[in-house]
Structure 1
Amino acid sequence: MLRVVGLLLAGVSLGLSSAHTKVNKHKPWIETSYHGVITENTNIVLLDPPLVALDKDAPIPYAGEICAFNIHGLEAPFEAVVLNGTSGEGQLRARGLVDCELQKEYTFIIQAHDCGSGPGGAEGKKSHKAVVHIQVNDVNEFAPVFRESQYRAAVTEGKIYDSILQVEATDQDCSPQYSQICNYQITTTNNPFAIDRNGNIRNTEKLSYDRQQEYEIQVTTWDCGQKRALHSVPVHINVKPVCKPGWQGWSKRVDYEPGTGSKQLFPMMQLETCGEPLSLVRTTVELKTSHIGKGCDRETYSEKSLQKLCGSSSGSTDLLPAPSAATNWTASLVTDSGRDTDLIFRFDGHQAAKIPDWVVPQNLTDHFTIATWMKHGPSPGLRAEKETLLCNSDKTEMNRHHYSLYVHNCRLVFLLRRDFTQ
């Protein structure tokens, strides 16, 4: 009898053990795919359909409850938490703030785990793997920025342009709505310019170089989310006169202060070719004064002062002094008016002055100076002849020159015979 009871107890024990191992019969069930949306700089993902895991072992404790959602994909910055283990409701969250400008979309795998046979989750079962696709919604956090800090262009006066230049701005937001530029505007008032939505600037009237040579306008912009640029951009437009070939940048009048050394006559002069090719450039500069006695000094100094200014030796001999009883060889010369204290002689090739021997230095050494103060006009006739300024010749026939200073064409020539007997 005792053996029968023992067998019955053993059979009960075995039956209970077999029933216990078969409690968690089913795997959790979730959808095969999920689509979620999260707004950047937030952490809650809105899933469609909602994250819910079902287990047919419910309402058996542990076996019919959901203990975890596991995400496969270490690079996915998300985690899934169980909100209610009995109902299987879960929630998908970002582990940190997501940035649309860094990554717009995420895809990963998720699985649901039940609680198995006890608190430790022993003998737990996993659902099938579901695909989760997350899209990051953009926030209009960036304002448009112009590509250049300033813009410059040049136009020719008297013309209407369809587009003088184009300004362009960019936006760092990731979505088309917030990253695209929808409008440009000129904020400067009372100007002859307009701008379209693509940033093309045109003039609304013909510009005049004489009226205004440069314009500066300020331009701002908005993205398609109506966020305005923090800083406007300056646009400089230069007006150029109608191109006329020739020399430009020179003045007909040049002022010179005596004793100031050399001076550039036309430092800003340039040749405008209007884009046409050049084969030869030939330029002639002619300086004129209105009076024979007026030179670059504009008669600021007297003749004596000029000689001193030009470095004339104090011991020099004046070969053309003012006429007097002792210096009568200049009495027959034609004179021209100069300063009150100056006397100017005019030579036209028909008169000359014969200087006495006692006036001319006879002891010239290897170093001597001949100084002249003269103005030379154009030579008469087609063929320029020698125009002698100073000549020392034989006394008889006067045809052999010992020394002579003369002008021939555009040259000033000095002839010297070192030995007068030659």
Structure 2
Amino acid sequence: MGTHVIKMPDIGEGIAEVELSQWHVKVGDLVVEDQVLADVMTDKAMVDIPSPVHGKVIALGGQPGEVMAVGSVLISIEVEGAGNLKESAAPAPVKEAPVAPKVEAAVESKPAAATAPRPAAVCQGPMVAREADERPLASPAVRKHALDLGIQLRLVRGSGPAGRVLHEDLEAYLAQGQSNASAPVAAAYAQRNDEEQIQVIGMRRKIAQRMQDATQRAAHFSYVEEIDVTAIEELRAHLNEKHGASRGKLTLLPFLVRALVVALRDFPQMNARYDDEAQVITRLGAVHVGVATQSDVGLMVPVVRHAQARSLWDSAAEISRLANAARNGKASRDELSGSTITLTSLGALGGIVSTPVLNLPEVAIVGVNKIVERPMVVKGQVVIRKMMNLSSSFDHRVVDGMDAALFIQAIRGLIEQPATLFVE
């Protein structure tokens, strides 16, 4: 028997240390080649560390939340043969899962036709006891299937190699659960005194740090305006009816992206980044719109690049593609960086008003609230109109209040008179 030592890999880009986010194995576990051993976090990505060998875990090199230097010992595995104890080999290639850039906590509402997850399954079928933070072996497709079914994957017994959870295991779990669906409800009313402490590590730590950094460094101020979206919703419905089958369905987001692009022609100071250390404002000709998107691994802001050069359907397709990539953990670093202004929407959960946090080093973020039908007075008559608020924030260090108000009013005019979106 020998020992195979896996060292903390060099992620690249000059990174000297990374945070150990989560272990997926423990001492004594048998592992197989390509099984994910741990997650580590860099400033830009969550990285899976797979096993290059079959063997038994004999030592772990750190605790979750610990910052480890590149090249330090991550894990030791007992293997057949001589191992690599004296001459450590480079680990197997790592797989990136994107991390949320500096963004405000919001959900992009409609760009992708993603299926909403079902409520968590009440009754369990064939079960296996795992720790709350233990991640079972399963393919991305199986994980997505479990999410859609509302099943906690850690409770499912896997029948595949090394306990890997298969699609059949999910169906067996669900079928067994349905046969036991008459669980008593008395426990829901029982008194509880239990407590749970959750360590803030990994992606949640990065989000917390970036949120705190944004609110401490920038002088936030918000401006809220209501917009009549009746006309643009009618236009959207008409275009979907006429071209939806051939070009794809349009949500409100590509119209908002178009409104941003047109309004920024007169307000270039909003399409900018502020380097507060160098005291330099950089205004950009290209409009790269970040679209805040919620995913299973955290908040992300994929970037619609060169939005000023895209048609409605081109923007819609790109928003959908990027949102799907972010939610499936396949968005690249380039797709998650480089935005010049951010659009964030809580969709049906948008409420009346929100106060979005800037995506530094940007100086403006436009937040979209929900659409509601309300009686409004139009030309002396009370009529039902579709109304929506824009709740937007700006960096008051470089954006004056008057300019922010005029910018939002420009967007309002474009949305309320949608033909002007396309008049050059």
TM (normalized to structure 1)? 0.15
Specify which structure has the bigger relative contact order, considering alpha-carbon pairs within 8 angstroms and separated by 6 or more residues: 2
Structure having the larger proportion of residues in helix:
2
TM-score by length of 2: 0.15
- Which of the two has higher C-alpha Rg? 1
